[in-house]
Structure 1
């Protein structure tokens, strides 16, 4: 049976120590930061604020091999299902 986008997001949330959500929502900045840590993308932590979601998503895509570079300009959209599947697989393999 094919997993839904919501199923994949919740699997990823649980894998990085976040909580499951019953409603369908994209990742928060805090969840993206936790995913960054789990996949080994080290964003600039010298500020008191998290970077924009686009930078966090770009770093995650780069860390799991979906992109060759970290390019926040081209990573503005939420993760597509295939990217969520790759991310869930990468986290399972950790």
Structure 2
């Protein structure tokens, strides 16, 4: 049986040194920053870029898109995105 979205988020959180969450919730800016660092994405803008830009950068680094343009769409991570991120972090 494949893992749920909640299980994938917690696996990713643990892989980047964050804490598991009991409730089902998306990533905070701090968690996204930790994931971005773990996958090797460093935004070239402000110190705390918008969540959309960080998500786009993470997708770019794990091979889900060709660039880190946040205006190209994507929004929150879908299950396929989470699976790709988790797999990327397992390989690191």
* TM-score (normalizing by structure 2): 0.94
Task: Within 5 Å, give how 1:1-94 maps onto structure 2.
Answer: 1-44=1-44, 47=46, 49-75=47-73, 77-94=75-92
Q: CA deviation at 1:73?
A: 1.1
Q: CA deviation at 1:50?
A: 1.0
Q: Is the 8 A contact 1:32 1:53 kept in 2?
A: yes
* TM-score (normalizing by structure 1): 0.92
User: Partners of 1:60 and 1:75 in 2: how far apart?
Assistant: 13
C-alpha root-mean-square deviation of aligned residues, in Å? 1.3
User: Which aligned runs of 4 or more in structure 1 are off by greater than 6 angstroms?
Assistant: none
Q: Is the 8 A contact 1:12 1:87 kept in 2?
A: yes
User: Partners of 2:72 and 2:33 in 1: how far apart?
Assistant: 19
Q: CA deviation at 1:89?
A: 0.2
Q: Is the 8 A contact 1:57 1:75 kept in 2?
A: no
